[in-house]
Structure 1
Amino acid sequence: MSAPITGLYAALCALVLLGLAVRVSWVRRRAEIFLGDGGDPALQRAVRAHANAAENMPLALLLLLTVELAGTAGWLLHGAGIALVAGRILHGWGLNRSAGASFGRVAGMALTWGTMGVLAGIALTAAAGLPLT
């Protein structure tokens, strides 16, 4: 049993997470803060952008895998994967630019949470034995 669509989006999410981790390292080096955040606002934002992605991606990917294995249509899986990756990029970009509300943060979380909500609904439907098509 394989899950190539989930594999694709897991790989893309890993690249987003890696990019956010590299950003933390760059900000650390520039600020010369190698443990904690030293109260540096840019480092605090970079760390939270990375952590937020690490907190949200695993559950979303687990849901994507669950519904792929349940036989959900490919177009829906790709739509959810694209929304997840776009949401994580937007959120990371928005949070790295500003600690306050921004388009990137709001749109990123809306896409991420919306994706998880839709996938959770599909997973519940599959768990109840109802048809997915």
Structure 2
Amino acid sequence: MPYSLSIAAVLALLLIALSVNVSRLRLRYRVSFGDAGNPALTAAIRAHGNSLEQSVLFILLLYFIDTATSLNSAWVVGLGAGFVVLRLTYCWALFSRRLRGRQVSHGLSMLMLLLTAVMLLSEGVGA
């Protein structure tokens, strides 16, 4: 079984937890659409949305690296684990209002996406 499937499952669990958090806050504050200017709900919506945006592309790239290249599986595990840690760090920083932590974790997440894309491209060009 490709290692990327396990990473996808972990990211899915994170996204489910973030979605449940949004729903919980919507019920608590009785907001059915948007965020009604509520800072906690805004943060929850952004944590879920940003993590979803980043995770979908990352897991696709990681799956292709895992199944269509000759790269060692240690790369897949390392990249996947690193990305999961960065997403968790981003969410923690967003909820605890630590701007610098959010900026760093988001920037490093972007670098992980770039790295996986370049790795996939270089493997394809080198074939």
Q: Same fold (TM over 0.5)?
A: yes
Q: State which of 10, 24, 29 in structure 2 corresponds to 1:31.
A: 29
**Range that drifts further, 68-77 or 7-16:** 68-77
Residue deviations 1:25-54, cap 9 Å, x none? 122122121221111111011001100011
Q: 1:129: how far off? A: 2.0
How much does 1:114 deviate? 2.1
TM-score (norm 1): 0.87
User: Hey, what does 2:92 align to over in structure 1?
Assistant: 93
Aligned length: 126
Alignment of 1:39-50 (within 5 A): 39-50=37-48
Partner amino acid, structure 1, of 2:77: H
Unaligned stretches of 5+ residues in structure 2: none
3-state SS of the aligned residue for 1:36? Answer: coil
TM-score by length of 2: 0.90
Percent of aligned positions that are identical: 31
The structure richer in helix per residue is 2
Structure 1 residue 12 displacement after superposition: 0.3
Paired residue type of 2:49? A
